[in-house]
Amino acid sequence: MAVYSKADLKEFRELLEQLRARLRGDVQQLTDGALAKGEAGGESRSPTHNADAGTDNYEQDFALRFVENEQETLREISEALSRIDDGSYGGCERCLEEGKTQSQSRINKPRLRAIPFTRFCIECERLREAETP
């Protein structure tokens, strides 16, 4: 049994697909930029000062770490789309593990509109964050 109506699921699917398209573009642009800096770091673009080299390396590392985070978000979006397909989208995974019913474990719409790939209700997310060292 689905947690939300077909119309709601259609709205959330569209949000997820739009977010996925935007992130894919961002990831591609950042990856291309970081790799171009790395390739240009040879003789044609050798910094004249060690501080310049450090700044270039920092910027490249930062961009690549950001890309990794965005790729993780893309994975979470794909999983959310799969949950829409299998009818489990919109239910808090932690609440369900605790034995609550689907209606009791429902993630509220404003949260899903803000973070459509979330797997946890706001209360369970707070608990998860408090448990993380």
Give the whole-angstrom CA distance, residue 7 versus residue 55: 49
Give the residue among 107, 130, 129 at the shortest CA–CA distance from 118: 107
In the chain, domain spans: 6-131
Q: State the pTM of this model.
A: 0.74
pLDDT at 68: 84
Contacts of 45 (CB under 8 A, 6+ apart): none
> For residues 71 and 118, which has the higher predicted lDDT (pLDDT)?
118
Say yes or no to pLDDT of 25 above 90: no
Nearest to 118 by CA among 91, 100, 98: 91
On the question of pLDDT at 89 being above 90, the answer is: yes
The confidence score (pLDDT) of residue 21 equals 92
The class that CATH gives domain 6-131 is mainly alpha
Per-residue pLDDT at 129 exceeds 60:
yes
Band of residue 35 on the pLDDT scale cut at 50, 70, 90: low
pLDDT at 27 over 80: no
pLDDT at 47: 55
At residue 132, does pLDDT exceed 90? no
Residue 8 pLDDT grade (very low, low, confident, very high; cuts 50, 70, 90): very high
Among candidate residues 71, 77, 85, the one with its CA nearest the CA of residue 119? 77
- CA–CA distances in Å: residue 10 to residues 28, 102, 116: 27, 19, 12
What is the pLDDT, as a whole number, of residue 76? 97
Predicted local confidence at residue 59, as pLDDT: 75
